[in-house]
Amino acid sequence: MFFTPNRKLGFSLPPSPAPFTAPRSERRPSDLRWADGASSSSRNDKDKEANVQVMVRCRPLSDEEQRLNVQHAILCNEQRREVTVLQSVIGRQLDKAFTFDKVFGPRAQQRSIYEHAISPIVHDVLEGFNCTVFAYGQTGTGKTYTMEGEIRSKSGELSADAGVTPRAVRQIFDTLEAQKADYSMKVTFLELYNEEIIDLLAPEDSSRSMEDRQRRPISLMEDGKGGAVIRGLEEEVVYSANDIYGLLERGSARRRTGDTLLNKQSSRSHSVFSITIHVKEGALGDQELIKCGRLNLVDLAGSENISRSGVRESRAREAGELNKSLLTLGRVITALVEHSGHVPYRDSKLTRLLRESLGGKAKTCIIATISPSAHCLEETLSTLDYAYRAKGIRNKPEANQKLSKSVLLKDLYLEMERMKQDVKAAREKNGVYIPHERFVQDEAEKKENLEETKRALHVVQEDYRTNYQILKEKESMISKLLHADHKTKSEAANKQLIMGFRSQLDQSLKDLHKNIVGSVSQQHQLLRRMDEHACSFIARKCEVTKSIESKVGKMKDTYSSGIAVMRELASALDEKASSNQEKLKSLLTSGTMTVENFLITSASEAEEVLHEIQRSLVEQKQLLSFSTQQQEAGLQRSLAATHVISKMTIDFFHDLENRASRLKTILEENHVQVSQQMANFQKAFQVHNNAYNEPTKELKHPVFIVVQEKSMKEESEALEKIAGILSSLTSNKTKMVGKCFNLASFLFWLLAWILKLSSSEKVAASMQRWRNAESSICALHKDYGADIDSSSEEAVLASHNLLEDFMTRVSSTDLEFDMGTSDLLRGVNGNHSLTLSLAYNRSHGCHIHNHLADSLLLDHKSKEEMEPLSALCLDQLKSLQDYQTENIADIRDHKETCLSKEYKVCF
């Protein structure tokens, strides 16, 4: 929103004399331009058309509506951006679906709507665009909630229920501060009530009455360039989000509200809250540039019809006026969508204000709010039609042209000058005076307005003239026809035709009468027969009905008894399940307790055993060291004795050797002597023999020959014997020598057994292992104990829930059955309905059976779920036992090894 001190310059000014330095709070009435065509002229943006964004928000059912069980008639599909009106709930045949740019269902949160739909628009404002968000919808559908909501929580922070306006304010300040931007900001807040503009931020003037102060009317004028100027509206310069929140709260409190049947706090006016931001940008040469953007947030009054909303007598005009501006808004939308030559912006102040946003250079977003209630279906349809049409509006968004700081300052000075003149004129004269320049300007504006009105009048007069001409032409044609010559001829021909037609008609009517009489008698006969048939049919029906009644009675009894049995069964089932669970639980608790106790005792026993083993091992160790010492001493002694013995033996062998060598010498000497003696003997024998034989050689007497031969034989035998004696002497000598030197040597080896006793370390390791096992067993016990506990509790809970569910279903089915039976009895005349009811009851019976089966299945399932748990527990216990046995065997082995070592050492 821009100040317009000097139209010739063609751009706007911020109100602060020094907008970017040392800001201070300031308030000043001013003229505001709503569609400053000259200030928006970025060539790049031109000709880029964009449709108005239309989104729909459906509120949830209120507490009151929920209490009254009001039916839902709206389906919102956020993904498909589709709203479906379920017309079938009010008996119409077809449902109606609409697609929008965004759709938010009853669960949509304020934050999510803002982030998805509004945040990008606020971003565009900071980029220098003028943007408008407005909420449209029936009263009580959440327009004010969406636009404003609860601004601040009790702690002063932005509330979770804060609507579009407070969130946009927060985003603007956060962004500018994050950018460390040099900026100035101002806001206006106006109300449009009964076609009058009221400034909601006007200062409170104590000299005026409350009503007068708050409802000071403001004039809206055309600027001659397609825009609107609001004269006398307060602009507040703001420096923080909290400043704006304060102004919003103050302005909202001043808005006119009243209670209608549809909303306890219904806004009875349209409101427009605007934020204008100037941001200093980079410099162009030595000129600093300033970017300007504006955000308009519009909360329209409810679009209800008077009778439905229940406004009272005094408000009839109010509703009419509100509807007038909304109707004009509708016509403007239609004209824009259909590209009509004339768009009736001027027909209401609302459309004059929104001109820039509807088909202009601003970016626009419409939020259509609807109720999900079937009671509001007509209004919802009308809102959706309205919003759907608005989708077709095409704007040509253009960013505002950046201004140079010097131009801005110049305009500021002019503005100040203008205001000074205002003050001077007011001081010097009584009453309301305006400076001459302003008067001339106003006159020019009025002239312009007059010109435009004249132009419009001229168009209307032209239309009137053309239409009048057409009317005249038609009248003359009719009169010409009436007075034409061939009128009489055609009348005579017509008369003849009519006569012929009449006689034909008479004949046809007579035939028709005959036919009718015949068919009436036939009908009578038929009716009589039908009557008879009907009587017999009714009689048969009565019988069948009675039998069906009795059957239904029986069925009801059977069903009730069945239900009672099922109930008993169910409670028994529940009790059994609970007791089973309890038993299982106690069993598991006692089992775990036993295991725990057993483990504790085993652990202490094992510890004792280990201590025992350790003690005995220490003793054995002492024993071993003692025996080792003794062994050592004995060995020392044996070693000394052995030493002595070996010395004696060596001496003995030395002696023996000496003796043997001496014996050898003697033997050799003997041998030599004997050999010598034998040789001597042999020689002497041979000599002797020769001496004996020589004389007899000559004697050839046979006796001598015999004697001679005999002596020779004896001689050779004797020589042989001598040789044998000699050889046996030699061999005897060799044998004797060999035998003399064979001596055995004695070896004494002492094997010392040195026992390294590492058994104590092994025991310690074993102890540690045992302790680890014990702690892991305890942990295991705890875990599984907790698991078992929780699953048994869950099972009990599931069983209870099941039972409750079952009981509710049984009672509801009971109720339904009763209803069905009475329906059945009522409509027993129609076999078809009976069949349907029976089928229905049968299906319900099946349903109960299925449910029972389900519950049994669930119980079985919980039992099945418990089984693996118990098996797991048993497995764990078994593995625990195995582990324990293994450990004990280990200890035993160890003990035995130690004992065998001890034995070996002792041995």
Binding-site residues from annotation: 137-144
Q: One-letter amino acid identity for 362?
A: A
What secondary structure letter does DSSP report for 116? Answer: I
Q: Based on CB atoms, which residue is closest to ligand ATP, 138 or 837?
A: 138
User: Does the footprint of ligand ATP cover residue 142 (CB under 6 A)?
Assistant: yes
User: Does the footprint of ligand ATP cover residue 254 (CB under 6 A)?
Assistant: no
Radius of gyration for the chain, computed over Cα atoms and rounded to the nearest angstrom: 65
- Dist CA 834 CA 826 (whole Å): 10
Work out which of 39, 188, 269, 369 binds ligand ATP, going by CB under 6 A: 369
- Per the listing, tokens 């209490």 go with 67
Shortest approach of ligand ATP to residue 370 CB, angstroms? 10
User: Does the footprint of ligand ATP cover residue 60 (CB under 6 A)?
Assistant: yes
Shortest approach of ligand ATP to residue 161 CB, angstroms? 8
Per CB under 6 A, which region of 141-149, 239-247, 546-554, 692-700 contacts ligand ATP?
141-149
- Dist CA 269 CA 182 (whole Å): 36
Work out which of 143, 216, 363, 895 binds ligand ATP, going by CB under 6 A: 143
CA distances 663 to 58, 660, 731, Å, are 143, 5, 15
Per CB under 6 A, which region of 140-148, 345-353, 723-731, 818-826 contacts ligand ATP?
140-148
Pick from 63, 84, 4: which is nearest to 37 by CA? 4
Shortest approach of ligand ATP to residue 103 CB, angstroms? 13
> Which residues ranging from 501 to 530 are in contact with ligand ATP (CB under 6 A)?
none
Q: Specify whether the CB–CB gap between 276 and 112 falls below 8 A.
A: no
Q: Which two tokens stand for residue 65?
A: 């509506």
> Which residues ranging from 565 to 604 are in contact with ligand ATP (CB under 6 A)?
none
Pick from 93, 90, 55: which is nearest to 71 by CA? 90
User: Does the footprint of ligand ATP cover residue 166 (CB under 6 A)?
Assistant: no
Q: Which two tokens stand for residue 542?
A: 């009565």
Instruction: Quote the strand ranges of 240-352, DSSP E.
Output: 257-258, 266-267, 270-284, 287-299
- Dist CA 576 CA 882 (whole Å): 36
Work out which of 14, 251, 302, 360 binds ligand ATP, going by CB under 6 A: 302
Q: Based on CB atoms, which residue is closest to ligand ATP, 139 or 188?
A: 139
User: Does the footprint of ligand ATP cover residue 145 (CB under 6 A)?
Assistant: yes
- Dist CA 188 CA 194 (whole Å): 20
Q: Based on CB atoms, which residue is closest to ligand ATP, 60 or 344?
A: 60
What are residue 239's phi and psi, to 5 degrees? -125, -10
> Which residues ranging from 529 to 568 are in contact with ligand ATP (CB under 6 A)?
none
Work out which of 140, 360, 397, 785 binds ligand ATP, going by CB under 6 A: 140
Per CB under 6 A, which region of 47-55, 259-267, 582-590, 839-847 contacts ligand ATP?
259-267
- Dist CA 292 CA 40 (whole Å): 10
Cα atoms in the Cβ-side hemisphere of radius 13 Å centred on 294: 32
Q: Which two tokens stand for residue 424?
A: 């001077």
- Dist CA 723 CA 679 (whole Å): 10
Work out which of 30, 263, 274, 855 binds ligand ATP, going by CB under 6 A: 263
Work out which of 5, 15, 137, 166 binds ligand ATP, going by CB under 6 A: 137
140 in the Ramachandran plot: left (φ > 0), alpha (ψ -120 to 50) or beta? left
Q: How many residues contact ligand ATP, by CB under 6 A?
A: 18
Shortest approach of ligand ATP to residue 79 CB, angstroms? 19
- Dist CA 771 CA 764 (whole Å): 11
Per CB under 6 A, which region of 5-13, 262-270, 389-397, 754-762 contacts ligand ATP?
262-270
Q: Specify whether the CB–CB gap between 591 and 873 falls below 8 A.
A: yes
Shortest approach of ligand ATP to residue 64 CB, angstroms? 10
Q: Based on CB atoms, which residue is closest to ligand ATP, 265 or 690?
A: 265
Q: Specify whether the CB–CB gap between 165 and 150 falls below 8 A.
A: no
β-partners of residue 279 are 183, 291
- Dist CA 842 CA 338 (whole Å): 59
Shortest approach of ligand ATP to residue 266 CB, angstroms? 3
Shortest approach of ligand ATP to residue 105 CB, angstroms? 10
Shortest approach of ligand ATP to residue 380 CB, angstroms? 12
Q: Based on CB atoms, which residue is closest to ligand ATP, 266 or 328?
A: 266
Q: Which residues are annotated as a binding site for ATP?
A: 137-144
Element spanning 636, H or E: helix 487-696
Burial of 4 (0-12, 13-18, 19+ CB in 10 A): buried
Q: Which two tokens stand for residue 730?
A: 């030699």
Residue nearest to ligand ATP (CB): 142
Shortest approach of ligand ATP to residue 104 CB, angstroms? 8
Pick from 336, 311, 339: which is nearest to 323 by CA? 311
Shortest approach of ligand ATP to residue 780 CB, angstroms? 53
User: Does the footprint of ligand ATP cover residue 258 (CB under 6 A)?
Assistant: no
Shortest approach of ligand ATP to residue 393 CB, angstroms? 22
Q: Which two tokens stand for residue 751?
A: 């094997």
Pick from 191, 184, 144: which is nearest to 164 by CA? 144
User: Does the footprint of ligand ATP cover residue 39 (CB under 6 A)?
Assistant: no
Residue 162: other Cβ atoms inside 10 A: 23
Per CB under 6 A, which region of 59-67, 469-477, 665-673, 893-901 contacts ligand ATP?
59-67
β-partners of residue 152 are 158
- Per the listing, tokens 């160790």 go with 621
> Which residues ranging from 266 to 285 are in contact with ligand ATP (CB under 6 A)?
266-267
Shortest approach of ligand ATP to residue 134 CB, angstroms? 12
Q: Based on CB atoms, which residue is closest to ligand ATP, 128 or 166?
A: 166
Per CB under 6 A, which region of 137-145, 185-193, 205-213, 658-666 contacts ligand ATP?
137-145
Q: Based on CB atoms, which residue is closest to ligand ATP, 203 or 310?
A: 310
CA distances 833 to 322, 823, 824, 826, 836, Å, are 53, 9, 7, 10, 5
User: Does the footprint of ligand ATP cover residue 139 (CB under 6 A)?
Assistant: yes
Q: Based on CB atoms, which residue is closest to ligand ATP, 265 or 885?
A: 265
Per CB under 6 A, which region of 57-65, 423-431, 582-590, 653-661 contacts ligand ATP?
57-65
Give one DSSP letter per residue of 707-735, joined into a string: HHHHHHHHHHHHHHHHHHHHHHHHHHHHH
Shortest approach of ligand ATP to residue 222 CB, angstroms? 29
User: Does the footprint of ligand ATP cover residue 141 (CB under 6 A)?
Assistant: yes
Work out which of 2, 12, 52, 59 binds ligand ATP, going by CB under 6 A: 59
- Dist CA 178 CA 123 (whole Å): 13
Enumerate binding residues for ligand ATP (CB under 6 A): 59-60, 62, 137, 139-145, 263, 265-267, 301-302, 369
